[in-house]
């Protein structure tokens, strides 16, 4: 062999230092991965989460606005009837 009489000298690499920002990001990603894994494990026994946001449709928004307008008109009529204004 041609390498039989050679001595290899390897230097130990300098340790790499992680920035605090990177450590925080890694910790956050690790926690997120743990939560996702846990949710996957218990998906059969936990109730489904409702991810729909309120008033997600135009129809819902209009219905709510008409409800508020109706309330304000009714209160105005009551004030006029009782002579509050």
CA atoms within a 13 Å half-sphere pointing along the CA-CB vector of 76: 6
Q: Count the helices and strands in the chain (H runs, E runs).
A: 2, 0
DSSP of 24-50, one letter per residue?
Answer: HHHHHHHHHHHHHHHHHHTTTTSPPP-
SS3 content of the chain, % helix, strand, coil (to 5): 55, 0, 45
Q: Domain limits of the chain?
A: 20-47+57-82
Q: What does the pLDDT look like over 5-61, one tens digit per residue?
A: 777 778 888 888 889 999 999 999 999 999 999 999 998 888 777 666 666 676 677
Q: CA–CA separation, 46 vs 39, rounded Å?
A: 9
More confident residue, 1 or 49: 49
Assessment of whether the complete model's pTM goes beyond 0.75: no
């Amino acid at each position: 062999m041609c390498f039989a009489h050679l001595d290899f000298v390897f230097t130990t690499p300098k340790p790499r230092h992680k920035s605090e920002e990177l450590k925080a990001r890694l910790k956050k990603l690790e926690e997120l991965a743990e939560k996702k894994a846990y949710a996957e494990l218990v998906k059969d026994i936990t109730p489904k989460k409702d991810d729909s946001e309120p008033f997600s449709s135009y129809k819902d928004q209009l219905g709510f606005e008409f409800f508020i307008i109706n309330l304000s008109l009714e209160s105005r009529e009551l004030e006029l009837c009782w002579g509050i204004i």
